[in-house]
Structure formats: structure tokens, C-alpha cells
Structure 1
Amino acid sequence: MRLGVQFRGQVPGGTSRRWFTHSWPEGWRVVWMVVPTWPMVDGAAQIEWKVQVDRQAAGLIKYFIEIRNLTGGPVDIEARFAVLN
């Protein structure tokens, strides 16, 4: 298994932002996780995300990651991946 951070960013309060990451080999089984890194809040969920996929070329995959901030203030995030095979 390979683990890593693909990108970091910030999502303003009450909004959504969308990122993409490209040129992933189609044979890889990739799982995406998005984690809030600031502010540190022990309470309700701060974010939610969804992943969409596009075949950008023969043998290559592009992922679109949309992150929604559920709070009223900005939230810093980290998009993490795990390649399972």
C-alpha cells in the first residue's frame, strides 16, 4: 500500500471548492480521504467531500475532488490518498 498527501488547501466558510489530480495509472486502486487540519474543533463535522472520475487518456485516470465546508469559517484541508494495490 502507498500513502501520501496530494494537495493542501483552504475552503472558505459555507462554500465548496473543486480540485483535480491527473495522470493516475488506471490499474491503481486509489482511495481518497480529505481531512481538516485547521481549525481544530472537537464537535460536528467540518467538511464533506465527493470524488468523480474521468478517463483522461488510454491507461490514465483523472480524479475531481469537491470539498464542501460545513462551517461558517475557513477550514484548511489535506487531500490524502491510498493506493491499495
Structure 2
Amino acid sequence: MRVGTQFTGTLAPGQSGRWFTYGWPQEWHVVWYFMPTSPQAGNPQLEWETDVERASGSAVTYWLTVKNLSNSQLNFEGRYAVLN
């Protein structure tokens, strides 16, 4: 398994944002997840959704939507894990 950080982002309170990342080999099994880097104890800070586009016969584009659930500005990392 390989893991890494693809990008970082910032969202205002209650804000959603959408990012995309392209050129991923279609044969890879990629899992996307997001980690807040702004501490805030007591409540969930973010949620996300991953959508997939088959961009070509050999490449995939991932569309990643992240929402700040908190009432404070949120910094986060967009992380991935390639499972195969």
C-alpha cells in the first residue's frame, strides 16, 4: 500500500469545496480521505464525498467534495491510499 497527501485546502465555516485530481491509472484501487489540520475538540469537523470519472480507457479522474461542519475556518489535507 502507498499513501500520500495530494493537496491541502481551507474552508470557511459551513463551506463546501470541490477539487479534482486526474491521470490516475484505472487499475489502481484508490481510497480518498481527508484530515483536519486545525484542531477543534468536541465535534466532527468535516465530511467528504468521492465521485469518479472514467476519463479514458486507462485513466481516472476523481472529483472530491469536502464540507466544513464546524463553525470555524478549517485547514485540511486531501490524502489518498493506493491499495494495490
Common fold: TM-score over 0.5: yes
Aligned residues: 84
Superposition deviation, residue 73 in structure 1 = 1.7
Instruction: Report % sequence identity.
Output: 42
| Matches of 2:57 and 2:12, distance apart in 1 | 36
CA RMSD, Structure 1 to Structure 2 (Å)? 0.7
Structure 1 CA distance, aligned partners of 2:32 and 2:22? 14
Instruction: State the one-letter code of the partner of 1:4.
Output: G
Unaligned runs of 5+ in 1: none
**1:57 alignment partner, SS class:** coil
Query: What is the TM-score of this pair, normalised by structure 2?
Result: 0.96
| Gap runs ≥5 in structure 2 | none
Q: Which runs of structure 1 show a deviation greater than 4 angstroms over 4 or more consecutive aligned residues?
A: none
- Matched with 2:32 is 32
Residues 1:11 and 2:11 are matched in the alignment: yes
CA–CA separation in structure 2 for the residues paired with 1:42 and 1:72: 12
